[in-house]
Amino acid sequence: MPGEILDNRGRGTAGFVWPSVHPEGRKFALIAAAVTGGAALLGLSLLAWPLGVLTLGILAFFRDPERVTPRDDRFIVAPADGLITLIQKVAPPRELCADDGTGGRGLDPAPVTRVSIFMSVFDVHINRAPIGGTIRRVVYIPGKFLNADLDKASEENERQHFLVERGDGVKIGFTQIAGLVARRIVPFVKGGDIVAAGQRVGLIRFGSRVDVYLPEGTEPAVLVGQRIVAGETVLGVLGQSPLLEGVRQ
């Protein structure tokens, strides 16, 4: 049927559809709409118009569009919409490396490439799994609300770590980081859940950042300043250096 995407190999038909609003945002939109209606009924048009714009803004912020994730076991897909602001070699967070008490191994503490994605209030804030596998850890850390664009935000801000492990042992760690305006990180999954690449795993309210720790030997397939799409943009190719290969061709 029109608007339905059957797969990502050219089969099926697609048409524009308005994105749905995630349930986390519907209650805020209803409250704003109710206050807007009340102001309008009382004849307070100077208040009703700005409140109406706010209601539309809330609906837009919590939009939850469908995405078509490329199906290749080598691909690490973007977990967030936004702007690539940092690509650097760092040691993964200790929460993703230390023994979690269950005997399960975390990431190797050796430095790896971290790709940081900044989400403005205009970006979709639903976050997605970069690979398919089992959620091994979900670790919430309370903290500050510094500008999420700062490097130190990854260590000082409110944040939530995820560790996903595939059946072949490949592990990807990524972190949701709250920003200046964000005040709550909402997970959709828990430890032990099995997810597909591109599956929704959580959201951050009102402006934030996501850090992805690429496995050793994996170079990023994106550049600083590039805008990316969650669940669709390929951040890296496991075991390959796509940017370098592109230069050699």
Q: Provide the annotated active-site residues.
A: 208
- Look at residues 119, 124, 128 and name the one whose alpha carbon lies nearest to residue 79: 128
- Look at residues 155, 129, 140 and name the one whose alpha carbon lies nearest to residue 67: 129
Say which residue the tokens 């032990």 belong to. Answer: 192
Q: What is the CA radius of gyration of the chain?
A: 20
Q: Which tokens go with 231?
A: 């669940």
CA distance 52 to 92: 43
Beta-carbon count within 10 A of 89 CB: 9
- Phi/psi for 209 (5° steps) reads -150, 150
SS3 30: helix
Q: Which tokens go with 212?
A: 């992805």
CA distance 92 to 107: 7
Say which residue the tokens 């949701």 belong to. Answer: 176
